[in-house]
């Protein structure tokens, strides 16, 4: 990598992008000169676990960073599909993003894959997640589906986008189609 640039990478499904994610972007931008946000499972959408398209998630992240005055000139936001061959996945990831020095991840699988001899040059950093039980995609989708309050767990811009694209209705529908007997 050139000219003393250091890059930190974080990865998530961002279904939706919430305050915990936002806070991690700030941590990384303090410790590295540039930030790469990887939108994982980019090919999935319109299922209860993954309600939003990669494009919608891109928009949420972009607008949330803008609104929070995060410097977009220092950020990359990149959608990546899954790979059924985990051992190959990390090479796939590296082919899709600019070179990076640090991977912020508490996921044991990601850590394990990265620590193999081929990727020794990358440092793994355990993120400091705040309020992990509330700033949590699974829990937020559940609240949306059951009509509980969830506004304060996501950036205001994310809330507005979900409203605009009728995301609450979508998540409720999808949660029902998961629990009801399927017709076809």
Q: Where does this chain bind its own copies (CB under 8 A)?
A: 2, 11-13, 40, 42-47, 53-56, 58-59, 62, 66, 72-73, 76-79, 81, 84-88, 90-92, 94-99, 105-109, 111-113, 117-119, 121, 129, 136-138, 160, 164, 170, 173-174, 176-177, 181-184
Choice between 133 and 152, CB closer to its own copies: 133
CB of 78 to its own copies, least distance (A): 7
CB of 50 to its own copies, least distance (A): 9
Choice between 12 and 155, CB closer to its own copies: 12
- Put the strands of the sheet holding 34-39 in their side by side order: 75-79, 34-39, 7-12, 102-104, 123-125
């Amino acid at each position: 990598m050139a000219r003393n640039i250091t890059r930190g990478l974080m990865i998530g499904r961002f279904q939706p992008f919430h305050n915990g994610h936002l806070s991690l972007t700030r941590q990384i931008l303090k410790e590295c000169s540039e930030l790469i946000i990887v939108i994982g499972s980019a090919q999935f959408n319109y299922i209860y676990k993954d309600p939003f398209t990669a494009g919608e998630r891109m928009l949420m992240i972009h607008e949330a960073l803008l609104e929070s005055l995060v410097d977009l000139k220092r950020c990359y936001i990149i959608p990546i599909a899954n790979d059924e061959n985990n051992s190959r996945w990390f090479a796939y990831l590296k082919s899709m993003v600019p070179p990076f020095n640090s991977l912020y991840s508490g996921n044991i699988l990601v850590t394990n894959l990265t620590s193999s001899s081929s990727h020794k040059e990358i440092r793994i950093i355990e993120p400091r997640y705040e309020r992990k039980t509330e700033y949590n995609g699974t829990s937020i989708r559940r609240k949306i589906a059951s009509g509980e309050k969830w506004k304060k767990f996501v950036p205001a811009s994310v809330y507005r986008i979900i409203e605009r694209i009728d995301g609450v209705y979508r998540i409720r529908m999808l949660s029902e189609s998961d629990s009801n007997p399927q017709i076809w």
